Structure 1
Amino acid sequence: MKLRLLAAASAALLAASPALAQSKPTPAEAKAFVDKAEAELAAFNLYVAKAAWVRATYITEDTQWLEAKASGEQNELATRFAKQAAKYDGVAVDPVTARKLKLLKLYLVLPAPDRPGAAQELATLGSRLDSTYSTGKFQYKGKTLTLNDAEDVLASSRDPAELKAVWEGWHSIATPMRSDYAELVKLANEGSRGLGYKDTGALWRSGYDMEPDAFAAETDRLWKQVEPFYKNLHCYVRARLNDKYGDAVQKRTGPIRADLLGNMWAQQWGNIYDVVAPKSAPSSYKLDDLLVSHGYDPVKMVKTGENFYSSLGFSPLPQTFWERSQITRPRDREVVCHASAWDINDRDDIRIKMCTKVDADDFYTVHHELGHNYYQRAYADQPFLFKNGANDGFHEAIGDFAGLSALTPTYLKQIGLLDTVPGEQEDIPFLLKMALDKIAFMPFGLLVDRWRWEVFSGEVDPAHYNAAWWELRMKYQGLTPPAERPADAFDPGAKYHVPGNTPYTRYFLAHIYQFQFHRAACRQIGWKGPLHRCSIYGEKEMGKKFEAMLAMGASKPWPEELAAFTGETRTDAQAVADYFQPLNVWLTKQNKGEHCGW
């Protein structure tokens, strides 16, 4: 009788607490779950990649619908796996399974809420935002301008009224996005909270093998390392703009007018080199002109990029790359022109999508985008969840590292674009051109996600999206818009990565990693000259060590992978300072008597 009472009491207790009735998952069960999730996600990824490629290279209502359907179904699947992964927290699994469980939780940039229809709604919003941006056009002087057209004006015009009109014209295409973006933020936050994150910003900051708050502090530390140099460059450029335009357009103190800097987002300033060039040290060549005079076309640009990687010992690109890539802008349809690299089948179907122009910017971009493709191919033998960069900053830095060599006069001579390498009298012009792109970019690379982190956390509501954007642009870049912005403006949406929902801190990190890689590579090949003159072209032994790091994919924490190539375990912006040291000394002299800062 007593035994029956005990059994009944035990059964009642288990019924009231179902968790007690289930034993804790075993390591074997955790591994089996990961294996199943990997297989299903890998199969689905091909379907999604194909749908995304078609939409990006042929934008219609139908292709938008197909991509949204595919990505919505993928979101539902990945969200389910991410939630299931959490039940294995605390299980004593092997290190590989533990890392895969973590990556499953971080798989989606925008996780959907776990309720019927939510994933499809989120995917539809994402596809519509991306397509609104990519098909954006505006009227100027009776002509219809695309972003490509507008960028050409920003780069070449020196008429402040024209720059202002075209800048405002492009930014107007983003105004209709604001309500869609606000809705997308709500859905993504709900999905992120369902996975145990405070908000989507916290989820993004969790992908760096450290706690979210620790990662934010790490980016602050890195910015402090480069901020003094940026302020020095800002001071010099502002003075030259004042010399050209006068106080009525650009004052000699305070912030810089954003539309005067040669780039739609003032993220790179190299297009106004003619305005800020040092009069005492002219440059003897212009890469744009060299490319044209040597008969380069878009395909030859890409072939040259392939040759760079081949010189390091990497295998040539597959024939399918040339058959399936979009290298130039089609004349007969709407496409996404924003340059990107694609890994369609996680094996050998790698492609780029560009609207390539024969100029210095796209010469660099080709080397950059191919860096993604060679990285993708290097880790093709890893398990599905490890087929990615050590972190997203690594993925961006690989091609940028190649680009540091690709822009040197040393490399331009190696491939026959220059007959002789200019002497050290041209070091300052060269470094200034590089700084106008590399150093000028860093605060922008930081602030885009700073803005999104504030939006995701609720610190900034939709009514204050634009005000918060310009507060950050003032704080980090020292920039203002050309005139007061309309009340309904949504200027963040005029930058692709916001409607395209691509995290942006990766680019800030890449602008540091690339110099660490470059410094390490130049040491490995025994380079004795200035870092900015070092080219790694043709260095197969170094290339072998570099490819070994790439082949690790996401299988190890990024400090281990950084150490495998550089011997360093910490991100270090001192490599940036080492590269630009002669220029910083020169800028300091030029700025004597100026009131720097804003």
Structure 2
Amino acid sequence: MERVSGCVLVVLAFFTRLAYSEDYFRMGTNTNTAEAVQFLREYDREASGMCYRVTMSQWKFVTNITEYNRRRMLEELALSSKFERLSWRKAAAYDSTRLPDPQNRRQLVKIVQSSRAALPDEKFSEIQQLITEMKEIYNSAKICPYGQKPYDPHVPRPPTYPDYQQMQSYQPTMQSYQHYQANQDNPELANYCDMQLDPEISRILAHSRIESELLYVWKSFRDKTGPKLKNRFMRYVQLANQAAVATGYRDAGDQMRAAYEDSSFRASVEEIYNQVVPLYKQLFTYVRRKLVQRYGETSVRSDGPIPAHLLGNMWAQNWKSIMDLVMPFPQSSNIDVTAEMLRQGFTPLRMFQMAEEFYTSMGLKPVPPEFWRGSMLVRPAQRSVQCTASAWDFCNRIDYRIKQCTEVTMQDLISTHHEMAHVQYYLQYADQPQMFRDGANPAFHEAVANAVTLSVYNLPHLQRVGLYQNKSHDPYEVSMNFLMTMALEKVAYLPFAFMVDQWRWSVFEDGVQNMNTRWWQMKLRYQGVVPPISRSEADFDPGSKYHIISDQEYIKYFLATILEFQIFEQLCIASGHTGHLHECDVYRSRDAGRVLSDMMQPGSSKPASEIIRAMTKGKTNRISPESLVKYFRPLELWLRVQNRDEPLIGWSSNYHDVALFAPQRGASGNTYISLSLLSTTVLHHLL
């Protein structure tokens, strides 16, 4: 799920640092406060106009992919980049400490600290070009089909997925695989080697249970991305650090963390992670046992980490696709109302109307007429479009849209409510200055949207709106199946979302040596995941994750997942809900709507700590995992029973696990590295 807001698009409000900024930066020398206030007024008007132009050009491109629209979009982005640099230079000239109005000070500091405009012109252009090139390499990555001799046009192509029984006849031979490796760049193979990450590769990883096929696509996609991206990424790290230092930060990771206005941010996030580890390890242990039953101990060691290609996702970040292997009660149903929606004649338009009514039932705002006129709610028939669901703010306080190739499925019904939550956020903070039209911190937008969908995707709500009427199964079994589905999506995701930026920050701090080794060391330590085959520094596996090479921070997704349950619980308390948290439905609760509105209206004009304190009525001003743990407590109790005979809750690592990514090459230095990684990893999980 995505949201597209003006502040993000023109890179005007990406980072802030207010809690300890004034002694951290060299302020400008211009003390003319009247001139500074006038600059902010002009900036607000001009930034809104620039944002509208950029957003409109991007909208036209993604909803009608043509070379002309692409050129127009790039032209607008180039103008936006120039505007950003000019605005930064003007703002940096003022001494923000002299401004009497704290909101004006906040805006000015956000502009000064928001970008990489402190770089010289040629380096500023270079880092933007590097990011563009890395994204293009990533998006163009394609692999050959599994089990087909790609050089033989007479061999029939594999059948359409997910008919995997037929795929059994397409086992690859070593000869065909070696020929593919030797000829994969042959232009004659272009018509055959056209499988992209989305949807073909992702579909295979989600649905195939043929281990050799999973390994093939897992490795092939990394072969097509990492080696081509590594050198560009290393130069990007160098430039990003130079920009951060010139702006007053220690390094680029320090600049990324500044948005959270917390001087002890890293310790705070580590503390949150440690509180969810026990739940994750219970889930991990149960899932591992099911994978051992499916693939055998030759593939998955019964007390060890899990090979990354077996978890249904390219990065092992979301395990919901292996639900068929781990469902607690297979004889009971899993919640899926797609068939009932089709029976009732749902259409994409009705789904969006239903989502809007969810919010208006809570006393929130209806979407304006421009939304219905401008949005792309279904895939157009006659043009190429980009279908990733996203919500758009056109920065003029009138025009808000959603882009989604909606189909009548339960998954798209949930997505519709999610994207409408982003639009509701836009509507709520529309009266704020342009710099403040964003979430209280980078985690808030996704957290709010996901918190609302927790109320939509549950049994009581689906029964309430007439979409779930199956009463033939044991409610407890249905509930456990539902919670397992949610845990595979939410709980399994937390260690990955936590470790991505731990790795990135370490690269910014310590340099680009041994990047791949450190990546897998962290995946083993935090996720309990190892590569299925040996990896080296030539592979650069972090390059297989789009957010890394596209310069998008990731810790916000970890915090958003924690925060969504915290917000959800507060909405449930306001609505008067009693009982299990996962059964709460805030539909039609005006009191819950007021809590939500009060959170959204300030935008980023206030620190997140103030928003959380108001939301919790003074109980805390920090993001807390207590609500997430409470939500999954029934499942955790069930998992503890299932795991009672397991000798180890979690995983232990041995030399062979570590040697997969830090292999001994005969030199004593390399042997020492491997043993050091082994000792720290094992120690972490056995204590």
TM-based fold match above 0.5: yes
Relative to 1, partners in 2 of residues 1:189 and 1:317: Cα closer, same or farther, differing over 3 Å?
same
Could you tell me which of 464, 484, 488 is aligned with 1:436? 488
Could you tell me which of 44, 54, 77 is aligned with 2:50? 44
Matching residue of 1:163? 214
Given residue 52 of structure 2, which amino acid in structure 1 is its aligned partner? Answer: L
Q: Does 1:119 align with 2:155?
A: no
* Inter-partner Cα distance in structure 1 for 2:405 and 2:42: 39
Q: Deviations over 1:254-283 (max 9, x none)?
A: 111222112222211112111011148733
Given residue 431 of structure 1, which amino acid in structure 2 is its aligned partner? Answer: L
Matching residue of 2:562? 512
Q: Does 1:103 align with 2:155?
A: no
Matching residue of 2:321? 271
Determine if contact 1:72/1:121 at 8 Å carries over to the other structure.
no
Given residue 142 of structure 2, which amino acid in structure 1 is its aligned partner? Answer: K
Q: Deviations over 1:482-535 (max 9, x none)?
A: 322465333323323223322111111111111111111111111111110001
Q: Which stretch has the larger CA shift, 419-428 or 340-349?
A: 419-428
Q: How does 1:127-206 map to 2 (within 5 A)?
A: 127-140=132-145, 141=148, 142=157, 144-146=194-196, 147-175=198-226, 176-206=228-258
Relative to 1, partners in 2 of residues 1:23 and 1:165: Cα closer, same or farther, differing over 3 Å?
closer
* Inter-partner Cα distance in structure 2 for 1:112 and 1:138: 38
* Inter-partner Cα distance in structure 1 for 2:136 and 2:463: 41
* Inter-partner Cα distance in structure 1 for 2:415 and 2:113: 28
Q: Which stretch has the larger CA shift, 253-262 or 300-309?
A: 300-309
Q: Please report how far the alpha carbon of residue 139 of structure 1 lies from its aligned counterpart in structure 2 after TM superposition.
A: 1.8
Q: Which stretch has the larger CA shift, 142-151 or 530-539?
A: 142-151
Q: Please report how far the alpha carbon of residue 454 of structure 1 lies from its aligned counterpart in structure 2 after TM superposition.
A: 2.1
Relative to 1, partners in 2 of residues 1:401 and 1:228: Cα closer, same or farther, differing over 3 Å?
same
Could you tell me which of 459, 462, 470 is aligned with 1:412? 462
Q: Deviations over 1:175-209 (max 9, x none)?
A: 32333333333333322222212222111101112
Kindly tell me the number of residue pairs found equivalent between the two proteins.
571
Relative to 1, partners in 2 of residues 1:66 and 1:498: Cα closer, same or farther, differing over 3 Å?
farther
Given residue 614 of structure 2, which amino acid in structure 1 is its aligned partner? Answer: A
Relative to 1, partners in 2 of residues 1:157 and 1:134: Cα closer, same or farther, differing over 3 Å?
same
Determine if contact 2:141/2:224 at 8 Å carries over to the other structure.
yes
Q: How does 1:154-553 map to 2 (within 5 A)?
A: 154-175=205-226, 176-211=228-263, 214-279=264-329, 282-283=332-333, 285-296=335-346, 298-328=348-378, 335-356=385-406, 358-419=408-469, 423-457=475-509, 459-461=510-512, 464-485=514-535, 488-553=538-603
* Inter-partner Cα distance in structure 2 for 1:432 and 1:35: 51
Given residue 88 of structure 1, which amino acid in structure 2 is its aligned partner? Answer: D
Q: Deviations over 1:234-265 (max 9, x none)?
A: 11111111111111222212111222112222
* Inter-partner Cα distance in structure 1 for 2:29 and 2:124: 32
Q: Please report how far the alpha carbon of residue 47 of structure 1 lies from its aligned counterpart in structure 2 after TM superposition.
A: 2.1
Q: Residue 234 of structure 1: SS of its match in structure 2? A: helix
* Inter-partner Cα distance in structure 2 for 1:527 and 1:99: 38
Matching residue of 1:596? 649
Determine if contact 2:88/2:117 at 8 Å carries over to the other structure.
no
Which blocks of at least 5 consecutive residues in structure 1 are unaligned?
Answer: 1-21
Q: Please report how far the alpha carbon of residue 427 of structure 1 lies from its aligned counterpart in structure 2 after TM superposition.
A: 2.3
Given residue 174 of structure 1, which amino acid in structure 2 is its aligned partner? Answer: T
Q: Residue 232 of structure 1: SS of its match in structure 2? A: helix
Q: Please report how far the alpha carbon of residue 441 of structure 1 lies from its aligned counterpart in structure 2 after TM superposition.
A: 0.9
Determine if contact 1:267/1:440 at 8 Å carries over to the other structure.
yes
Matching residue of 1:3? none
Q: Deviations over 1:302-332 (max 9, x none)?
A: 4443332233233333344344434455677
Q: Which stretch has the larger CA shift, 561-570 or 382-391?
A: 561-570
Determine if contact 1:68/1:124 at 8 Å carries over to the other structure.
no
Q: Please report how far the alpha carbon of residue 31 of structure 1 lies from its aligned counterpart in structure 2 after TM superposition.
A: 2.2
Matching residue of 2:8? none
Relative to 1, partners in 2 of residues 1:133 and 1:300: Cα closer, same or farther, differing over 3 Å?
farther
Q: Percent identity?
A: 34
Relative to 1, partners in 2 of residues 1:341 and 1:576: Cα closer, same or farther, differing over 3 Å?
same
Given residue 150 of structure 1, which amino acid in structure 2 is its aligned partner? Answer: I
Q: Residue 342 of structure 1: SS of its match in structure 2? A: strand
Given residue 542 of structure 2, which amino acid in structure 1 is its aligned partner? Answer: P
* Inter-partner Cα distance in structure 1 for 2:404 and 2:137: 18
Q: Please report how far the alpha carbon of residue 84 of structure 1 lies from its aligned counterpart in structure 2 after TM superposition.
A: 4.3
Given residue 54 of structure 2, which amino acid in structure 1 is its aligned partner? Answer: V
Given residue 144 of structure 2, which amino acid in structure 1 is its aligned partner? Answer: Q
Q: Please report how far the alpha carbon of residue 577 of structure 1 lies from its aligned counterpart in structure 2 after TM superposition.
A: 1.1
Matching residue of 2:80? 74
* Inter-partner Cα distance in structure 2 for 1:288 and 1:165: 32
* Inter-partner Cα distance in structure 2 for 1:493 and 1:341: 27
Determine if contact 2:207/2:312 at 8 Å carries over to the other structure.
yes
Could you tell me which of 97, 100, 112 is aligned with 1:93? 100
Which blocks of at least 5 consecutive residues in structure 2 are unaligned?
Answer: 1-27, 149-156, 158-191, 652-687
Q: Please report how far the alpha carbon of residue 290 of structure 1 lies from its aligned counterpart in structure 2 after TM superposition.
A: 4.5
Q: Please report how far the alpha carbon of residue 414 of structure 1 lies from its aligned counterpart in structure 2 after TM superposition.
A: 2.0
* Inter-partner Cα distance in structure 2 for 1:240 and 1:283: 19
Determine if contact 2:451/2:565 at 8 Å carries over to the other structure.
yes
Relative to 1, partners in 2 of residues 1:42 and 1:449: Cα closer, same or farther, differing over 3 Å?
same
Q: Please report how far the alpha carbon of residue 588 of structure 1 lies from its aligned counterpart in structure 2 after TM superposition.
A: 1.3
Relative to 1, partners in 2 of residues 1:313 and 1:172: Cα closer, same or farther, differing over 3 Å?
farther
Given residue 115 of structure 1, which amino acid in structure 2 is its aligned partner? Answer: P
Q: Please report how far the alpha carbon of residue 589 of structure 1 lies from its aligned counterpart in structure 2 after TM superposition.
A: 1.4
Given residue 78 of structure 1, which amino acid in structure 2 is its aligned partner? Answer: E
Q: Which stretch has the larger CA shift, 180-189 or 298-307?
A: 298-307
Relative to 1, partners in 2 of residues 1:498 and 1:320: Cα closer, same or farther, differing over 3 Å?
farther
Q: Please report how far the alpha carbon of residue 53 of structure 1 lies from its aligned counterpart in structure 2 after TM superposition.
A: 2.9
* Inter-partner Cα distance in structure 2 for 1:167 and 1:450: 23
Relative to 1, partners in 2 of residues 1:227 and 1:153: Cα closer, same or farther, differing over 3 Å?
same
Q: Please report how far the alpha carbon of residue 432 of structure 1 lies from its aligned counterpart in structure 2 after TM superposition.
A: 1.3
TM-score by length of 2: 0.77
Q: Residue 352 of structure 1: SS of its match in structure 2? A: strand
Given residue 59 of structure 2, which amino acid in structure 1 is its aligned partner? Answer: W
Relative to 1, partners in 2 of residues 1:237 and 1:534: Cα closer, same or farther, differing over 3 Å?
same
Relative to 1, partners in 2 of residues 1:429 and 1:128: Cα closer, same or farther, differing over 3 Å?
same
* Inter-partner Cα distance in structure 2 for 1:330 and 1:132: 27
* Inter-partner Cα distance in structure 2 for 1:405 and 1:139: 42
Q: Please report how far the alpha carbon of residue 364 of structure 1 lies from its aligned counterpart in structure 2 after TM superposition.
A: 3.0
